Chain A
Amino acid sequence: MQRLPLKSKVLNENQIVAESLRERFREHGILCLNLISSPGSGKTALLERTLASLDPSTRVCVLTGDIQTDNDARRLAQYGFPVQQITTGGTCHLDGRMIEKHLAAWNLEDIDLLFIENVGNLVCPSSYDLGEASKIVLLSVTEGEDKPLKYPSIFFKSDLFILTKIDLLPYVPFDADVAEANARLVHPGIEIVRASSTAAGGLDQWLAWLTQRMAQAQQDALSAAHATD
C-alpha cells in the first residue's frame, strides 16, 4: 500500500474558475457582491429597492439564482438594468462555472457593479467561491437571533451582515442586539448594517456601505492600471 499526498482543495476546479473570475473583475474594476440568505430573508426586495435608488447611469448588472422559475429576474428587470436568471434545476447553490457561463452574454467593460443573488440557502452557497469581492449574508428579524450560531460558516465567510425587515421589529420578539452579538461571536470583524426595504430611508446604511465599496473598487482599478503603465 502506498499513500500519495494529495494537497489540493476538494473544490479545486471551482476555485480555479473563481480565481479567474476574480482576476477579470479586478482588471475591469468591477465590484462583485454575492448575496446569501435563507429563502425569504429579503434578498430580492433589497436588490429591487437598491436598483430603484441607484442613478440610472450606474453600470450595474444582476445575476439571480433560483432552483426554478425566472420570477426574480422579471422582478429585478423592471428597473432598467441588465438582469439574468440562473435556474439551477435542483442544485442548491451557484458555482463558478454558472457565473462564467452567464457573464459571457455581457461585456465586462460596461460593468462597474455586479450583484449575484445566490439560491436561498444558508448552508451550501457558503462553500462555493464565485470570484466575488465580498459575500454578504442577510438575516431577517422574523428569523431567530441564534441563526449566526446555527449557521456559523456563512457568517464567518461574509464581510457584511445585513439585518433585514427591521420595520417589523416592533411586532416580533427579536432582539437585534443579540443577533448582532451572535454574528460578532462567530466573526469578530464582520460589518453590520440594519435595513428595511419598505420604510423610508431604510436602506441608508446599506447604500452608504455600497457607495464606499464601489469607490474603493474604482480606486483599486485605477492604481492597478497606473502600476502597469
Chain B
Amino acid sequence: MHELSIAESILAAVRKELAGHPGARPIRVGLRIGELAAVDVDSLTFCFEAVVKGTEWETLQLDARVCPQRRLCRDCRNQFAVVEYNAACPACAGRNTSLTSGDELDFDYLEVETDATPAAQVKGAE
C-alpha cells in the first residue's frame, strides 16, 4: 500500500509545477507506470481520489498508462515485448538482453485550463 505515498507525491509535484503557471487550473495529470514498477494503478487511482477529496484539486484526474516490459537483445539487436517476464530473446533465445521500458514511474504531462481556454470552450472541443 505505498500507493498512498505515491498519490501524495503526485499532488505535491502538480502543485510545484503549477506555481510556475499562475492562473492555470489543473485538469488531468498523465503518468507512465511500468509493469515492473510495483505500482497498482487501481489502487493508485483510489488513493489519489482520497488525497484530493475535499480540496481545491478535487476535480483533478489521473491518467495512468501502464507500460509493458520491452527489452533489447544485445546479441542480435532484436527489440521485443516481454511475455510473462521471460527476459530471453524470442528470436535467438539469447539471455543477454537489457530492459528498454517497463520499470518507469514517470510523469508524462499536466493538462491545464488557463483563462485563454475557458471550461466551456474545452468542453465544446471534446
Q: Which residues of A contact B (CB under 8 A)?
A: 1-14, 91-93, 95, 123-124, 126-128, 149, 151-154, 156-157, 184-188
- CA–CA, A83 to B27, complex, Å? 47
Measured between beta carbons, the chain A residues less than 8 angstroms from B52 are none
Q: Determine how close the nearest CB of chain A comes to the CB of B122; give it in whole angstroms.
A: 5
Chain A at the B interface: SS class: mixed
Measured between beta carbons, the chain B residues less than 8 angstroms from A12 are 9, 13
User: 5 more A-B contacts (CB under 8 A) besides A3-B109, A128-B2?
Assistant: A2-B114, A6-B29, A92-B1, A127-B2, A127-B6
- CA–CA, A2 to B113, complex, Å? 6
Measured between beta carbons, the chain B residues less than 8 angstroms from A3 are 109-112
Contact with A along B8-31 (1 / 0, CB 8 A): 011011000100010010010111
Do A188 and B95 touch across chains, with their CB atoms under 8 A apart? yes
Q: Determine how close the nearest CB of chain B comes to the CB of A96; give it in whole angstroms.
A: 12
- Interface flag for B106 (CB, 8 Å): yes
Q: Determine how close the nearest CB of chain B comes to the CB of A38; give it in whole angstroms.
A: 14
**Residue on A nearest B122 in the bound complex, by CB:** A1
Measured between beta carbons, the chain A residues less than 8 angstroms from B67 are none
Task: Report the count of interface residues on B (CB-CB < 8 A).
Answer: 43
A4-B109, A152-B36 known; A11-B9 Cβ under 8 A: yes
A5-B109, A9-B106, A153-B36 known; A92-B2 Cβ under 8 A: yes
Contact with A along B85-126 (1 / 0, CB 8 A): 111100000011101000111111111111001000010010
A10-B31, A185-B85, A188-B88 known; A1-B37 Cβ under 8 A: no
Contact with A along B29-43 (1 / 0, CB 8 A): 111000011110000
- Interface flag for B5 (CB, 8 Å): yes
**Residue on B nearest A9 in the bound complex, by CB:** B106
Among candidates A6, A13, A151, A152, residue contacting B30 with C-beta atoms closer than 8 Å: A6
Do A124 and B36 touch across chains, with their CB atoms under 8 A apart? no
